[in-house]
Amino acid sequence: MTTQKGSTRDDLRFIIIGAGMSGILSAIKLQEAGFDYSIYEKADRLGGTWRENEYAGLACDVPSHLYCYSFSPNPDWSHRFSPGAEIQQYFLEVANKFGIDKQIKFSTEITRCEFENGRWQIELSDGSTDVGDFVIAATGVLHVPSYPDIEGLGSFEGETFHSARWNHDFDLKGKRVGVIGTGSTAIQIVGALIEDVEELTLFQRTAQWVSPQENPAFTEEEKADFRDHPEKMTALRADIAKTFAEGFANAVVDANSPELAMIHDVCVNNLESSVQDADLREKLRPDYRAGCKRLIMSEDFYDAIQQPSAHLVTEGIEQIEKAGVRTSDDKLHELDVLILATGFRVDRFMRPMEVIGRNGLALEEAWKDGPFAYMAITIPEFPNLFMLNGPNGPVGNFSLIDVAEMQFGYIMKLVEQVRTGACNEVSVSQPAMERFDAERKEAAKSTIWQSGCNSWYLDANGVPAVWPWTFDRLRDEMDNPRFDDFDLV
């Protein structure tokens, strides 16, 4: 069925993939706008990354009053940086408050989407089908665990789990615990476990810069004040957003910015003043600039790693054996449990779902050299399909919620073209995609992420797969779509 151009379409139907932060946002906004939609979630609970990650010490390093929806502030955040379980609870409550939770079809994975006769035909894991005019892929970034390719991993006779597959049935108290990795996750795990375990061995392949962090609790009076005066939460949110944008997100895209030099000094001072033993201090000193990898903020890591029960191992891992981890100095580190804080496969996005665009083009084929999307949202020849926090999307350490809200506003401006009858299909044009990608790669050269370190921000060719411009530019682009860059069919 093809709809005549020129007629207004108030019957547009949307398919939302995923009930994490971005999917819940989409459902709320589409519901408010009066659109028909279905929202599918492969798991049996909502929450996305906050459902998947339940590791000890989990918290968000974006302050809670910014890491929440602008339209649903929360006066009850316990801390400046609240724990993961509280964030997960927030999403449950918001979904309930807006009546979204009843709409979500849980334990239903979308296995295939095909653009046929102007609409998206959807196939689901339970054998059923659906159809929509638009697809919103709110499938997240940090959700497919990356397992290290280390010889003998399967031969360890103790307990092993990835940080995003935490085994709550296994009591770590009094155990000899090994942690592989030194990313944001590992650093939080170390701080949280050190008091409870008998020994903690941290296997560090690359040292990390650690910025100090203060995480005060909100008092009951402060929470009551937020409740009585919601405008104070709005003001606080704006304040934090400004600080983050100016002090970090705008700075990381210019490796020579004075803000980055200051952040580097803060991290050096933190290391110098916190770690007493000179050998340990040097082992913990990175050989690249602060901010090159995602900056870690921690109030307890340096304390934790200096406890007598903590061991920092910098020799490379040779292999894993029945009893523990053998390092390149031939030492066997005997363990009861091994925690793999080894990050995520960040290039998956919608996959393994099969997505077929115009003229039978498979996403797998379009992305054979790596995932890309104009503005992190739209792909040529995949009309009326939009991603939230798609490829090359992360903005500094900024709140992904704010970014998703802006992106959703942008998508609605594109949808409006179809709703008002200007066209039936909207997707970025091939020349605009190529121009955008060339500009993005050029801009990435002067960012801190390309200043000489390895991180999950880099794609297979070593190019930062992130938004390489300022936060202000993101806001401008999202507010003012360049319609000339689109094929409006």
CA separation for the pair 130, 50 (Å, rounded): 28
CB nearer ligand N01, residue 183 or residue 383? 183
Among the listed residues 20, 132, 178, 343, the single contact to ligand N01 using CB under 6 A: 343
**H or E element that contains 159:** strand 159-162
CB nearer ligand N01, residue 180 or residue 379? 180
Which residue has tokens 């009094």? Answer: 174
- Does 291 participate in binding ligand N01 (rule CB under 6 A)? no
Q: Which stretch binds ligand N01 (CB under 6 A): 17-25, 55-63, 263-271, 319-327?
A: 55-63
Q: Which stretch binds ligand N01 (CB under 6 A): 85-93, 115-123, 181-189, 464-472?
A: 181-189
Site for ligand N01, residues 218 to 247, rule: CB under 6 A: none
Site for ligand N01, residues 364 to 423, rule: CB under 6 A: none
Given a contact cutoff of 8 angstroms between Cβ atoms, the answer to whether 320 and 116 are in contact is no
CB nearer ligand N01, residue 142 or residue 310? 142
Q: How far is the CB of 247 from ligand N01 (least distance, A)?
A: 17
| Residues near 148 by beta carbon (within 8 Å), at least 6 away in sequence | 180, 340, 342
Q: Are strands 310-313 and 296-298 parallel, antiparallel or unpaired?
A: unpaired
Q: How far is the CB of 298 from ligand N01 (least distance, A)?
A: 8
CB nearer ligand N01, residue 70 or residue 146? 146
CB atoms inside a 10 Å sphere around CB 268: 14
CA separation for the pair 374, 366 (Å, rounded): 13
Strand-by-strand arrangement of the 13-17 sheet: 104-105, 36-40, 13-17, 134-137, 385-387
Q: How far is the CB of 188 from ligand N01 (least distance, A)?
A: 6
Q: How far is the CB of 147 from ligand N01 (least distance, A)?
A: 8
CA separation for the pair 380, 389 (Å, rounded): 17
- Does 80 participate in binding ligand N01 (rule CB under 6 A)? no
Tell me the residue ranges of DSSP E strands in 232-313. Answer: 296-298, 310-313
Given a contact cutoff of 8 angstroms between Cβ atoms, the answer to whether 5 and 421 are in contact is yes
CA separation for the pair 337, 90 (Å, rounded): 32
Max Cα separation, the chain?
Answer: 74
Number of residues that bind ligand N01 (CB under 6 A): 24
- Does 294 participate in binding ligand N01 (rule CB under 6 A)? yes
CA separation for the pair 47, 106 (Å, rounded): 12
Among the listed residues 325, 341, 363, 415, the single contact to ligand N01 using CB under 6 A: 341
- Does 183 participate in binding ligand N01 (rule CB under 6 A)? yes
Q: How far is the CB of 212 from ligand N01 (least distance, A)?
A: 14
Query: Residue 194: what are its φ and ψ, rounded to 5°?
Result: -55, -35
CA separation for the pair 423, 415 (Å, rounded): 10
Give the CA count within 13 Å in the CB-facing half-sphere of 299.
Answer: 9
Q: Which stretch binds ligand N01 (CB under 6 A): 121-129, 154-162, 182-190, 382-390?
A: 182-190
Give the CA count within 13 Å in the CB-facing half-sphere of 246.
Answer: 6
Question: x-or-dash pattern for ligand N01, window 185-214, by CB under 6 A?
Answer: xx-x----------------xx--------
CB nearer ligand N01, residue 23 or residue 84? 84
Question: x-or-dash pattern for ligand N01, window 126-155, by CB under 6 A?
Answer: ----------------x-----x-x-----
CB nearer ligand N01, residue 30 or residue 142? 142
- Does 60 participate in binding ligand N01 (rule CB under 6 A)? yes
Among the listed residues 317, 338, 377, 474, the single contact to ligand N01 using CB under 6 A: 317
Among the listed residues 270, 342, 392, 424, the single contact to ligand N01 using CB under 6 A: 342
| Residues near 28 by beta carbon (within 8 Å), at least 6 away in sequence | 69, 71, 94, 98, 100
Site for ligand N01, residues 440 to 469, rule: CB under 6 A: 454, 456
Size (the chain), residues: 489
Note the residues at the interface with ligand N01 (CB under 6 A): 59-61, 142, 148, 150, 180-186, 188, 205-206, 294, 317, 341-344, 454, 456
